[in-house]
Amino acid sequence: MAQPFLEIQSLRKDFGGLRAVNDVSFSMGRDEILGLIGPNGAGKTTLLRLITAILRPDSGSIRYKGEEILGLKTWSIVNRGIACTFQNMRPFRRLPIIANVMVSCLSPRAMKRGEWVKKVEAKAMDALEFAGISDMALEKASTLSQGDLKRLEVARAIATEPELLLLDEPFGGLSPAETELMAKSIQRLNKGGRFGRLHSEGPAMIIVEHKLQQLMKIVNRIIVLNFGTIIADGKPEEVVTHEKVVEAYLGQEEM
């Protein structure tokens, strides 16, 4: 049996008297696009922050490519090939957006794996082209709309050459047309489209998203969290009719 690419076992995180992540266990393969959904406050973003060591769990295990990564610093996890975007974007607002991406290109992992490109600027521009904002490369990040800031976050993440990409609401703030383009870009990236010259396959992905219609089109599998606990895990068409999932989303228009 093949070793899981990412394996999480009995992960738990408490904030005072609130258990945000409650005994979560799952694994995923190298080529998967995994959707992570659930009502507001279900623990989705907290789980991403635990994987990237922004938060420390109270108990449990996180193994990446067979290696236990609990206890590592965030920068060390990035250099092992895990990148993440978050809802609360914090770009260098006074710098041009290409400079924001160049910072990611200068990470030890990106420098080592990016030998096919001669200039950092060229690699940063490649990431911006993928995200669809290369025409704004010289504009300050402070001038960007919410949707364009979201795309800048994606560009910064992929510039680190990740093998596992965690996306927290990548469609947030995007128009329907922009959402469609982002969804197609995510699929292309997973298949190695952007890094075709360097890798035979793109990164595996975990995507947290509330726009469920768009998410269902691109993921292979969905995990549903509610009150920090996994209540469903399966194919999209199976999960949306699951009794506990329907109950958790009762009254929410998306479902």
- The predicted pLDDT at position 196 comes to 38
Q: State yes or no: pLDDT of 255 exceeds 50.
A: no
CATH 3.30.930.10 fits 6-248, yes or no: no
pTM comes to: 0.85
Domain residue limits, the chain: 6-248
Kindly list the strands in the beta sheet with 59-64, ordered across the sheet, starting from the edge strand earlier in the chain. 18-28, 6-15, 59-64, 67-68
Each residue's pLDDT tens digit, 228-247: 999 999 999 899 888 888 88
What is the pLDDT averaged over residues 132-157?
87
Give the per-residue pLDDT at 181: 82
Q: Name, in order, each residue with C-beta under 8 angstroms of 40's C-beta and a sequence gap of 6 or more.
A: none
- 117-142: per-residue pLDDT in tens? 557 888 888 888 888 888 989 989 88
